[in-house]
Amino acid sequence: MAERYREMVSTPAVLEAQQHYFGKARVPAPAGQDDRLTREEAVFITTRDSFYMASVTETGWPYLQHRGGPPGFLKVLSPSELAFADFRGNRQMLSTGNVSVNDRVSLFLMDYPNKERLKIMGHARVLDAREHPDLVEKVAPPGTAAITERVFVIQVVSFDWNCPQYITPRYTAEEVEAAVAPMRARLAELEAQLASQPKVKS
């Protein structure tokens, strides 16, 4: 766990819970500054086709939303900044409204086949796509500029890689197809060889 992340989540209540259950609390040293994404995080982020984003309502309730798109739709603009295009949808505007009051967000990115997960905390702002056409062109996946209504820009504060324990591997239809494609090809080859053999008369 990155030191900045540990510092952010180790609240007095968390430390008290650690003390109660384990007999000691892990008090983090002051981190001093925000963490910057490395190449490892950037590669992981740009190969995801979905993530979950949590924001907080004005009444203090957490709100969790799934975001999906082609791999790489969550853009790494710099080691400290992410962005993604927000498409035309159901018009609820929940995340957009939440962020306008409390800009804190948490992203949860999963790689189920490799049992990896990355958590990112940051401050988000929402930009009207009509007022930022250059940014839309930069972050919107091909063919989606016309349906992009907003752009979320997230200033990264810290991140944390979780352990793989208890992550059940899951695969997309495309990943399954890629895995079985060699077997399909081999089966077709064997069937062709079998069909070309002369038939034995009984």
Instruction: Output the pLDDT for position 143.
Output: 94
Instruction: Output the pLDDT for position 112.
Output: 94
pTM value is: 0.87
Instruction: Output the pLDDT for position 197.
Output: 86
Instruction: Output the pLDDT for position 59.
Output: 96
If the chain, 202 residues long, is cut into consecutive pieces of 10 residues, what is the mean pLDDT of each piece?
Answer: 85 95 91 90 96 97 95 96 92 94 97 96 97 96 95 97 90 89 90 85 66
3-state helix, strand, coil in the chain (%, to 5): 35, 30, 35
Q: Which long-range contacts (CB under 8 A, 24 or more apart) does 34-38 make?
A: 34/4, 34/80, 34/156, 34/157, 34/158, 35/2, 35/3, 35/4, 35/5, 35/156, 35/157, 35/158, 35/159, 36/79, 36/80, 36/156, 37/76, 37/79, 37/80, 37/156, 37/159, 38/79
The domain at 34-169 falls in which architecture? Answer: Roll (2.30)
Instruction: Output the pLDDT for position 90.
Output: 79
Instruction: Output the pLDDT for position 202.
Output: 62
Instruction: Output the pLDDT for position 147.
Output: 94
Q: What is the DSSP string of 45-84?
A: HHT-SEEEEEEE-TTS-EEEEEEE-STT-SEEEETTEEEE
Q: Where in the chain is the domain with CATH 2.30.110.10?
A: 34-169
Q: How far is Cα 88 from Cα 66, in angstroms, rounded to an integer?
A: 15
